[in-house]
Amino acid sequence: MSDLRARHHAVMPSWLSLYYDTPMEVVSGQGARVTDADGHTYLDFFCGIVTNMLGYDVAEVREAVERQLASGVVHTSTLYLIRGQVEVAERIARLSGIPDAKVFFTNSGTEANETALLLATHARGTDQVLAMRNSYHGRSYGTVAVTGNRGWKNSSLSPLNAHYLHGTDRDAPAFRGMSDAAYIDACVADLRDVLATATAANVACLIAEPVQGVGGFAMAPDGLFAAYKEVLDEQGILFISDEVQTGWGRTGSSFWGIGNHGVTPDAMTFAKGLGNGFAVGGVVARGDLMDALPAKGVSTFGGNPVAMAAAGATIDYVLEHDLQANAARVGSLLIEGVGHLTELSTVGAVRGRGLMLAVEMVDPGSGAPAPSLATAVMERARERGLLVGKGGLHDNVLRMSPPLTLTEEDAREGRDLLVEAVTAVHGEVTGA
């Protein structure tokens, strides 16, 4: 493993970070568990960054992909009719709830968000975009420009003129202690102020995550985006919901994360879990927006036959097994089961929705964000056989996004391992 790590550092960029003091190589998986090259098996609560949505080695997905491979056609491109692409697009259009929806497939969430921003800026004839503080929308030039997290912004240069809104910063001094209603009112007042003072007359869109993935699963109170959209509609400003991490029932309470706000966006982006590990993303938007681009366009690999076979099988599995309901039921077990960790002085907050769970680590004396403690908990969790992720504005938030197929038995096991890991680190730091 040390040899592979050395080879990685020799040919991969230095900013391509690896988890753990001793990085691991995953070589096999089954259900909610993976095994590394040293033969250790782990309960996986991060799933390739919210991507292996059904877990590992799912027969229905594997067999669909194998059937496509057996045809000999791995790739044709969008210059030819692709039956699987049309069929998956039809299903996504229906599931989106967007009137007269059309779908364009890409390879990733980054590409999907780039496409959505292109649609909006063309439709409105402006480079001005509203985005959320603490947001993350991808690593490309355009998506970095609308990412509201300095830790992920590699360039101050931008093809877009971005203005950032409040919505997930309830703990900031200006908002601390406010009720949901008061906070929403304050955020809407700020939006109106931004539009009156910081922007020119024409704004393209607001792009927002219903739950901020890289931002540590921070989320706006239900109803905020509906209140925002009332203001946006007054000026014809479009609304894009970034569902790369929140789509397909993961939040439990709705099929799309934006459903909790009671609003239908003009466009939604998706990726990650749709292919259960196969590269597929895309945009579903109003037909008039999608059709309005004046120049030619193709997607060489987006929506290729193999990815579409995986995507179709994944959607079938999610719907036939009602995994949204499972996310709600099992997610509640997890969130309620670790809520008592806030009694520890090293835990600032526990939050989540469905199978999206976050534990925020803080300094026990000052309450300041403690990224080193989050890293330590990851190590202790791995030692016990549990894999979790990390994020947040200050990199101090443990992120868990288990497969939507997670059983109650596995949820209880993961819950207990997480509690043990957090409690162990707390003891190491405080001596308690």
Predicted pLDDT at 33? 98
* Domain(s) of CATH 3.40.640.10: residues in the chain: 63-320
215 closest CA partner among 139, 285, 132: 132
Per-residue pLDDT reduced to its tens digit, 396-420: 999 999 999 999 999 999 999 999 9
Task: Round to whole Å and give the CA distance between 86 and 102.
Answer: 10
User: Per DSSP, what are the bridge partners of residue 31?
Assistant: 56
pLDDT at 333 over 80: yes
423 closest CA partner among 355, 372, 373, 358: 373
CATH dotted code for 2-57+323-430 = 3.90.1150.10
Q: Helix, strand or coil for residue 208?
A: strand
Per-residue pLDDT reduced to its tens digit, 93-123: 999 999 999 999 999 999 999 999 999 999 9
Both structure tokens of 241: 């919901």
CB 396 within 8 A of CB 373: yes
CB 331 within 8 A of CB 412: no
The whole-number average pLDDT for the span 50-75 is 98
pLDDT at 148 over 80: yes
Measured in Å, how far apart are the chain's first and last C-alpha atoms? 35
User: What are the backbone angles phi and psi of residue 406, rounded to the nearest 5°?
Assistant: -55, 130
Task: Round to whole Å and give the CA distance between 271 and 260.
Answer: 20
Q: Which residues of 107-134 are buried (b: 16+ CB within 10 A; e: fewer)?
A: bbbbbbbbbbbebbbebbebbbbbbbbb
Q: Helix, strand or coil for residue 349?
A: strand
Both structure tokens of 358: 């976050």
pLDDT at 324 over 90: yes
Residue 233, number of CB atoms within 10 A of its CB: 11
215 closest CA partner among 26, 390, 88: 390
CATH dotted code for 63-320 = 3.40.640.10
The whole-number average pLDDT for the span 183-211 is 97
pLDDT at 432 over 90: no
Chain CA centroid to CA 382, Å: 22
What percentage of residues in the chain have a pLDDT greater than 70?
Answer: 100
| The model scores a pTM over 0.85 | yes
pLDDT at 201 over 70: yes
* Domain(s) of CATH 3.90.1150.10: residues in the chain: 2-57+323-430
Task: Round to whole Å and give the CA distance between 423 and 415.
Answer: 12
Maximal C-alpha separation, the chain? 65
Predicted pLDDT at 331? 98
Question: Rounded to whole angstroms, what are the CA distances from 221 to 114, 183, 224, 232?
Answer: 26, 8, 6, 18
Per-residue pLDDT reduced to its tens digit, 27-41: 999 999 999 999 999
Lowest mean pLDDT among 26-35, 147-156, 317-326: 147-156
129 closest CA partner among 236, 204, 41: 204
CB 263 within 8 A of CB 239: yes
Per-residue pLDDT reduced to its tens digit, 130-145: 999 999 999 999 999 9
pLDDT at 1 over 70: no
Task: Round to whole Å and give the CA distance between 129 and 257.
Answer: 21
Q: Which residues of 346-382 are buried (b: 16+ CB within 10 A; e: fewer)?
A: bbbebbbbbbbbbbbbbbbeeeebbeebbbbbbbbbb
Predicted pLDDT at 63? 98
Predicted pLDDT at 110? 98
* H-type alpha helices, 125-223: 141-145, 180-197
Residue 2 pLDDT level (bands cut at 50, 70, 90): confident
